[in-house]
Amino acid sequence: MANARLLEVDATDELALADAAQLAALVLEAGGLVVLPTDTVYGLACRPDLAGATKAVFQAKRRPAGLSLPVLAAGEAVAWEVARPDERARLLASRFWPGPLTMVLPRAPRCAGWTLGEAERTVAVRVPSNPLARRVLQAAG
């Protein structure tokens, strides 16, 4: 944790949100980890398409591989790039996203090779409503 840095961000300050999101995105793009507020808890974030980064999350949290990592998305369109929703999932998403709803759905081809845990055919996906989390997700891609 020698490189750890704490940022206090005023969620009502657009410039502070943008600056913090850009800094977090740089860390994520380099394969690093970032602690982010979500709708329910603080989560340890990484780029899910970087196997080394997801491995670092499992190690840092001492998380067993049987508990797959969820994927947070900046918006519904991005969520459907990693998951294949049916009509019910689309209806739930339109009603409860952004927000604390996480859905476990079949993986889309984009994330077929991602190392998220033992569940290789499904992905837990969510679109958070927290403004900082959304900004980081948008900046990180």
Please list the ranges in the chain whose pLDDT falls under 70: 1-2
pLDDT score, position 48: 95
pLDDT score, position 128: 97
The DSSP secondary structure of the chain, one letter per residue, reads: -TT-------TT-HHHHHHHHHHHHHHHHTT--EEEE-SSSEEEE--TT-HHHHHHHHHHHT--TTSPPPEE-SSHHHHHHHB---HHHHHHHHHHTTTT-EEEEEBPGGGTT---SS--SEEEEE----HHHHHHHHHH-
Q: Which two tokens stand for residue 64?
A: 């067993």
pLDDT score, position 118: 92
pLDDT score, position 76: 97
Distance CA 65, CA 98 (A): 27
pLDDT score, position 2: 54
Q: Which residue, among 141, 115, 133, has the nearest Cα to 20 in the 3D structure?
A: 133
Distance CA 47, CA 54 (A): 7
Delineate the domains of the chain, giving CATH numbers in brackets.
14-140 (3.90.870.10)
How many residues make up the chain in this entry? 141
Q: Which two tokens stand for residue 44?
A: 């340890």
